[in-house]
Amino acid sequence: MVALSFRFPHHGKYSSFHRLLDYLDPNDRAVDATIPLSIYHNRYLNRRDIAGRAWRWIKEAEAWRVAKAENCPWLHYLYPEHGYFNGSRRKKKDQRILFSCHLPKSKLEEVKGRLKPFMEGLRCADGIILMSPEDRDYYASMAPQAHVTFIPHGIDVHYFSPGTARTPADEGNFRVLTVGNMMRDFPRLAAVIRRAADERSSIEFHVVANAGTLNKLRNLVGENAWPMVRPHHGISDEALRDLYRGCDILFLPLISATANNALLEAMAVGLPIFVSDLPACRSYAKDCAIYFPTDLDEVDLLGALGKFSADRGQLAEMAGKARSLAKEELSWEVIVGRHTDFMKSFEA
């Protein structure tokens, strides 16, 4: 198998699906299509991702050359939404195409007009791996010849691991962590923060997002309540891990979801999770998280956070269960094995 992948600059080294490349079988091959940062951020060379698309097109051709030279039966596109161009015309008759798809139905419906190569690729893919089971019928309808399955996104449980437990002496304020940009419900988060400010709650809201998202959140929160927020952007992988280890709970209000890096990272570190009740979230965290309705208002959400801060025993129990589940079912070693089994099933 040849795995074709790249890493977005805003994805951490240990967080993204690209991390799978470090766990491949020795007999597998990897082609890394990550564009150099100096080109990615050059507004002249990479306007509208022109240089990025050209680079990934070149790397797709390289991946097929490797597959043909080494007689590899599969080419696995880890990010086909951005990395597939014309694989169906490059492959030999005895070779197969595998897509790992990341977008939920709601998001793909918004952007599929801009993803024409990917949409064409779905029609010729032989296997499709989804990050959430709820979209199986949707993808199957667009990929008539493919076998479609759900295999979770993995997580590096060696890097994202529990740190030193906090002691009563250094507990201080209840530290709530929110991480990420895409498909987050920031208006709901902002409403909770404003309510916490009105009640003079002893909660610190640590928010990790890009600078533009943080500016939008600040506008939603308002200057009076913004002192409740500890914003973080452009932080290192180590600083991100330290935040997971140093906070008390992950609070994730979501609009939609497939795989969610923040959910996986929190599970691996052993951070309790309070997350929107979406099928994709339950398919990962199962009974190791506390779920809230997507329309729950800020009064009830803040009340729930207050109850958690008063019951550290419940949080500790949740943390242990989440860490165990991550190790047993979501480690990259386990997930890569499931990918291999899926490809072998075509030989039966």
- Looking at the fold, whether 132 and 187 belong to one and the same domain comes out as no
Closest alpha carbon to 142 in 161, 124, 162, 117: 124
Mean pLDDT of 258-287: 96
Q: Is the alpha carbon torsion for 142, 144, 148, 153 positive or negative?
A: negative
- Looking at the fold, whether 8 and 58 belong to one and the same domain comes out as yes
End-to-end CA distance of the chain: 17
**Domain housing 208:** 168-330
CA distances from 142 to 74, 108, 173, 215 (A): 21, 12, 49, 38
pLDDT of residue 40: 78
Residue 204 lies in a domain: yes
Sheet containing 127-130: which strands, arranged edge to edge? 29-32, 2-5, 74-77, 96-101, 127-130, 147-150
pLDDT of residue 272: 96
* Nearest-5° Cα angle at 107, 103 to 108: 65
Mean pLDDT of 250-279: 96
**pLDDT tens figures, 72-124:** 999 999 999 999 999 999 999 999 999 999 999 999 999 999 999 999 999 99
The CA distance from 125 to 72, in Å, is: 16
Residue 250 lies in a domain: yes
- Looking at the fold, whether 134 and 210 belong to one and the same domain comes out as no
- Looking at the fold, whether 204 and 79 belong to one and the same domain comes out as no
- Looking at the fold, whether 133 and 65 belong to one and the same domain comes out as yes
pLDDT of residue 348: 61
Mean pLDDT of all residues belonging to the chain: 94
Least confident of 161-170, 185-194, 222-231, 260-269: 161-170
- Looking at the fold, whether 138 and 172 belong to one and the same domain comes out as no
**pLDDT tens figures, 30-53:** 999 998 878 877 888 788 888 889
The CA distance from 246 to 221, in Å, is: 24
- Looking at the fold, whether 65 and 180 belong to one and the same domain comes out as no
- Looking at the fold, whether 250 and 212 belong to one and the same domain comes out as yes
Strands 2-5 vs 273-276: parallel, antiparallel or unpaired: unpaired
What's this model's pTM, rounded to 2 decimal places? Answer: 0.92
Using pLDDT thresholds of 50, 70 and 90, give the confidence band for residue 17.
very high
- Looking at the fold, whether 236 and 120 belong to one and the same domain comes out as no
Residue 262 lies in a domain: yes
Percent of the chain with pLDDT over 90: 86
Residue 169 confidence (pLDDT) above 60? no
What secondary structure letter does DSSP report for 246?
H
Residue 26 confidence (pLDDT) above 70? yes
- Looking at the fold, whether 134 and 189 belong to one and the same domain comes out as no
Residue 159 lies in a domain: no
pLDDT of residue 240: 96
Mean pLDDT of 120-144: 96
pLDDT of residue 168: 46
pLDDT of residue 338: 98
Number of domains the chain is built from: 2
Residue 207 lies in a domain: yes
- Looking at the fold, whether 197 and 318 belong to one and the same domain comes out as yes
- Looking at the fold, whether 190 and 132 belong to one and the same domain comes out as no
Residue 166 confidence (pLDDT) above 80? no
The CA distance from 144 to 259, in Å, is: 24
Residue 161 lies in a domain: no
- What does residue 202 show for φ and ψ, rounded to 5 degrees? -90, 55
Residue that is written with structure tokens 């699906």 in the block: 17
Residue 304: CATH number of its domain = 3.40.50.2000
**pLDDT tens figures, 175-212:** 999 999 999 999 999 999 999 999 999 999 999 999 99
